[in-house]
Structure formats: C-alpha cells, structure tokens
Amino acid sequence: MTYAVPEIPATGSVLLANATVPSAVTNGTLNHIGDGLGRADILLEQGEIAAIAPPGLLDRRDGVTVVDLDGGLVLPGFVDMHTHLDKGHIWPRRPNPDGTFPGALEAVSADRPARWTAADLRRRMDFALRCAHAHGTVMIRTHLDSIPPQDDISWPVFAEIRQEWMDRIELQASALYGVESLLMPGFLDRIADTVKKTGGTLGAVTYMVEGLEGHIDALFRAAAERGLDLDFHVDETADPQARSLALIAEGALRNRFEGRIVCGHCCSLARQDADEVDRTLDLVAQAGIGVVSLPLCNMYLMDRQAGRTPRWRGVTLLHEMKARGIPVAVASDNTRDPFYAYGDLDMVEVFTQATRILHFDHPSGDWIRTVTTTPASLLGDPTRGRIDAGLAADLVLFRARNWNELCARPSGPRQVLRAGIALERTLPDYRELDDLMEP
C-alpha cells in the first residue's frame, strides 16, 4: 500500500471530496466529527475556493474533476509570524559554542560584521524562503538586525526579496535591536524612518535596563507618529524579575496606542508567582497585545547548563493567555543558526512540537489557529490562514486524517496547493550554500 496524497489536476475545476477540515479555519458548513474537525467537500475554480459544504451537497457537474481525499486533512497555507531570515543557515560556519543564549549572542555578533553582505543575505534568505514555500507557508514576518551599519544592508535586500517573492509568500519585516540602542543620538528616528519607508514594523528587544519605561514610551510615540505597528522581543530569560511584558502593556495603555502590538517569547512569565502573572495578563488583555511563543528555540536555549538536565520548557503561558482572550500564536523563530541549531521553516513541525511541548491536545480543539488565523490577523491580513469561499486556494493536503495522525507523522505525505495548483515539493539542498560556509 502506498501513502501518497492524491494527485490534483493542474487545470479545470476540482472537487476535493471527503476532506477533513478544522472548523476553526472556516465559516463553511461541515459534518462535525469531533476534536474541532469536520468533513466537507471543497470546490476549487480558477485558483479560488468556490464553495465548501458537507460531503455530497455540492453539484458534481460535468467538467469537474473529483478527487477523493478519503478523509485526508486539509489545512490552509501557514502563517509564520516570527522568524529571523537574516540569521538563517549560518550554523555551519558559526555554530553556538555551548548552546546557551550568551553563546548565541557571541556567535552572531562575530558573524554579522564579518559576513553579512548583501549577496550573503540574499542567498541565505532565498534558500530559507524556498524551504518555507515547499512546506506550505504563505506569509512570514522576519526580524532584521538593525544596528548601523547593518540596517543599510539588510533592509534594502529585504525590500528586493519581498518584491521577488510577492506571488509566493507575503513578507513583512520588523526592526530588531536591543532597547538600549535608543540611547544612541538619532538612532530611533533613523530606524523608524527606515521601517516606514520599507513598510515594516518597529520593534526592539526589551529587558530590565535603567529607564526602560522611557524607552517604551519613545517607541510608542515613534510608531504612532509614523502609523507603524510594534513587535517586541520580550523577557527571553528564566529570570522571574524580568517583567518588561507588563511595562509594555502599561505603556500601550498610557500612550493610548491604536496600532497592533505583538510580544514574542515572554519566557520569564512562567517563572513568576500567580499574583504577578494575573496582574500582567490582565494588563496584556486590556492593551490588546498578541503573544507569539517560540517553542523550538526556547526549548533549545532556556535552562541550559552543561551536564545538567533542564528543569523547565522555556515557553510562556499560552493556555492562561488564551483563556483571557489574548491572541496567541507559535512560530519558527531561528533556523540553523546559533540561536537554534535546527529547523526548516516547516510549520507542521512547529505545530507538532508546540502540541507536545505546550499540550495543545486532549482536546486539540482550535489550537490550529496558532499557525493560521491568529497570526494572520496579528500581521494585518485576516484573509490568510483560512479556508473559505472567495479566498485563494492556498491549501495543504495531508494523508493524515486527524490531529493524532498528523502529529505522529509530521513528515508524512503532504501536497501544497497555490491558487489551486499543486507545487513540486522539492526542498533545496544544503549543498547550495557550501561556498558561503567556509570559516
């Protein structure tokens, strides 16, 4: 017996019959089968989803090719809302010496000024995007290291690549630098203007430095003046005294900020006492902040000590946030670089590992939103990550029929459709980058 996904014709109308679809990603009518899943037929015409209905209800007229999926799972194209394309794939030439967070900072700080030319960035970023595309991702936000002079290299390269990839992956960028960089005269205006010019998002890495509240206010003002959204790296540490998430929420309320706000990591929250957690989450909910957890990277970095088994998982409190109505997502973060030695920008792997690490199961319910509808909305494009009539037929088809089968065999057969056309899922060979990896 073979375990291939059925072939999809390249032309004409196609009816995907007997599909299993998560109710969380569609407004269409399904025959519900439990655990947030239902059965449906999906009609594809001219690159769009023409209709979705319970099996057998759509007209199987002449000229429509019927493809029986036999209960195979159909998901929308994935949204990876927190990545670092500029760092990706430097591991072979600049590995983390000990797997720790300081080791990662040291390795990247050495590699960036020595190697991050426009040509180097372009090839590594394009390689990473080809991986994501083959895996079924349709939208990505990358953070770009933006300390001068790197900002003058990375942002123009990103703008070119975004244009080149616009028909395959919708790309966004967010500025990345330590919040203490705001002490440099003129820095905030410089980077905020670059972000505005390129159509990006303003951000910073926040930690408990002197004057943090003033820095947060300055970022909110700079973003509001330019109509920018904000995306922060927050409290990526095991130190329970790291509480910049609460300060950002207070800053959003104090400044009456009207743009979208995302906070990534928020690891230290899981180390704080219940009263502090409740106070912080109440503020985050009131401020309308979305939170993205990066389970692969933070499992790798957090609580690492040589010769000692880690005592905690490094992830933030997504269940408690979701219960308060806080939008929550998960994403890839780093890929084959000193902050995370592995990964391939495969959101099926991310979701599977998040399910295991964060207990997105028993029941699985609507947790698939964390890689589809929720990040799409947080990034400002709610048409992504959905399966509905009138939307592009950007779908990922699986032989797996339910969450258990998907997570048990995440590398199992899948077929990626873009505008209803099946991709040839050929992953780029790591050897393509060999000449960039010499020490």
Instruction: Enumerate the active-site residues.
Output: 236
How far is the CA of 3 from the CAs of 285, 356, 414, 427, in angstroms? Answer: 44, 24, 10, 20
How many angstroms separate the CA atoms of 268 and 242, rounded?
Answer: 6
Strand-strand pairing, 170-176 and 137-145: parallel
Sign of CA dihedral 249, 250, 252, 256: positive
Question: What is the chain's alpha carbon radius of gyration, rounded to the nearest angstrom?
Answer: 22
**∠ CA 206-211-214 to the nearest 5 degrees?**
85
DSSP, residue by residue, 269-327: GGGS-HHHHHHHHHHHHHHT-EEEE-HHHHHHHTT-BTTB---S-----HHHHHHTT--
Q: What are phi and psi of 140, to 5 degrees?
A: -140, 135
**CB contact set of 199 (below 8 Å; sequence gap of 6+):** none
How many angstroms separate the CA atoms of 282 and 209, rounded?
Answer: 23
Residue with tokens 């995007």: 129
**∠ CA 117-123-128 to the nearest 5 degrees?**
125
For the chain, how are helix, strand and coil distributed in percent, rounded to 5? Answer: 35, 25, 40
Per-residue tokens: 68: 């029986």
DSSP 89: T
How many angstroms separate the CA atoms of 42 and 394, rounded?
Answer: 12
Nearest to 333 by CA among 82, 109, 54: 82
